[in-house]
Amino acid sequence: MKKKYTLGVIGGGFMARAILSGAMTKGILSAEEILVCDPSAESRTYFEKCGIDVSADNADAVRRSSYLLFSIKPQTFPEVARALQGQQFPIVISIMAGKTKAGIRAATGAGKIARVMPNLPCSIGAGMSAIDASELPDDARNFVLGLFLSVGEVIETEEDQLNAVTAVSGSGPAYIYLFLRAFIAAAQEQGLRHDQAETLAFQTMEGGLAMTKTSGKTLDELIAAVSSKGGTTIAALQSFQKDNFEQSIARAVAAAAKRAEELSE
Ligand SMILES: NC(=O)c1ccc[n+]([C@@H]2O[C@H](COP(=O)([O-])OP(=O)(O)OC[C@H]3O[C@@H](n4cnc5c(N)ncnc54)[C@H](OP(=O)(O)O)[C@@H]3O)[C@@H](O)[C@H]2O)c1
């Protein structure tokens, strides 16, 4: 039987807002095809203003939707799952960090489940999502891919790679912000004003990234292109090397992956 809603959402918070806004802007879903369930009146009012139906009862999303998105915090999930036991679940899409398909299935009795690890820039349409939709039939897999393509780039992964993904693109925006903060502070130490330092750092980051994507050169070739013998760049690169910069990044990513593994259940 055709369900009233294409997508039911449990948890109308930050990520749900980002994903639904992208999906509606890109025409993947219209407001009438969505139901959002959240106990928070503030959240329900937000979605009602977008023309989206809302409910305070999560079972509505389970019963009345073709796809169910879990976008609650992982720590809220056990209590939500307990209250939904015995329901017939549609295809589940989970963005909850660290909740495995086996764990979600054991707690809810759901059948087919896709896991997605999105990241913060999804909120401005520049996200990176890794998706394990291996259990889904083609039409459902395409729906999930389309949903997350509406808020950025997508790659498909195996479920056991999602902890590594969490350590790279999930936590990664913070690494970029940290690097930029240090870069700007270093520029100011050399006598530049904050606004000048910010413009130089941001545009250098954007220009550098654009060249890696369009020049057809490898990263080693691009580094070589900026580094003339005996010049300024070489002096900086040698300093980075002395401080074990690359090993420091490897250790940080490994620490995040280990923590993701510890939090998985
Ligand atoms: N934020 C990120 O960058 C990011 C990245 C990747 C993955 N994720 C994952 O995305 C999920 C959502 O994160 P978020 O940042 O969107 O969190 P959030 O803003 O806290 O959203 C969660 C929403 O669920 C609501 N909620 C609480 N109890 C509920 C219940 N019993 N039934 C239904 N809804 C309930 C919350 O309402 P109240 O506010 O009233 O509690 C809130 O509106 C998490 O599992 C997280 O691991 C987030």
Name the domain count of the chain: 2
Higher pLDDT residue, 98 or 62? 62
Domain end, chosen from 160, 190, 223, is at 160
Burial class from Cβ neighbours inside 10 Å (0-12, 13-18, 19+) for residue 3 reads middle
User: What's the pLDDT tens digit per position in 167-198?
Assistant: 999 999 999 999 999 999 999 999 999 999 99
3-state secondary structure of 36: strand
Q: Which atom of ligand 1 is nearest to the CA of 15?
A: 16
Average pLDDT of the residues in 64-86: 96
Same domain, 125 and 211: no
Same domain, 100 and 201: no
User: What's the pLDDT tens digit per position in 7-66?
Assistant: 999 999 999 999 999 999 999 999 999 999 999 999 999 999 999 999 999 999 999 999
User: Ligand 1 atom 31: the closest Cα is on which residue?
Assistant: 80
Please check the confidence at residue 244 and state whether its pLDDT lies above 70. yes
Same domain, 142 and 17: yes
Alpha carbon of 71 to ligand 1 centroid (Å): 5
| Res 1: pLDDT | 66
What token pair was written down for 202?
A: 């941001």
Strand intervals (E) in the chain? 5-10, 34-37, 53-55, 65-70, 91-94, 113-117, 127-132, 152-156
| Res 2: pLDDT | 79
Query: Is 167 within a domain?
Result: no
Which of these, 149, 12, 147, 153, lies nearest to 76 by C-alpha position? 12
Same domain, 71 and 142: yes
Same domain, 130 and 180: no
Its pTM stands at 0.92
Query: Is 204 within a domain?
Result: yes
Same domain, 130 and 218: no
User: What's the pLDDT tens digit per position in 199-243?
Assistant: 999 999 999 999 999 999 999 999 999 998 999 999 999 999 999
- How far is residue 18's CA from residue 25's CA, in Å, rounded to a whole number? 11
What CATH number does residue 128 fall under? 3.40.50.720
Mutate to test the pocket of ligand 1, among 36, 73, 123 (most ligand atoms within 8 A of CB): 73
DSSP letter string over 181-207?
HHHHHHHHHTT--HHHHHHHHHHHHHH
Average pLDDT of the residues in 130-146: 98
Same domain, 228 and 124: no
Q: What percent of the chain lies above the pLDDT cut of 70?
A: 100
Start-to-end CA span in the chain (Å): 34
User: What's the pLDDT tens digit per position in 101-128?
Assistant: 999 999 999 999 999 999 999 999 999 9
Same domain, 156 and 178: no
| Res 80: pLDDT | 97
Q: Using the 8-state DSSP alphabet, how is residue 215 labeled?
A: S
Q: How far is CA 209 from the centre of its chain?
A: 20
Same domain, 113 and 206: no
Residue 69 has φ and ψ, to the nearest 5°, of -100, 120
Same domain, 244 and 138: no
Residue 255 has φ and ψ, to the nearest 5°, of -65, -40
Query: Is 165 within a domain?
Result: no
What CATH number does residue 228 fall under? 1.10.3730.10
Find out whether the beta carbon of 8 lies less than 6 Å from any atom of ligand 1. no
Residue 164 has φ and ψ, to the nearest 5°, of -65, -40
- The residue range of the domain holding 111 is 5-160
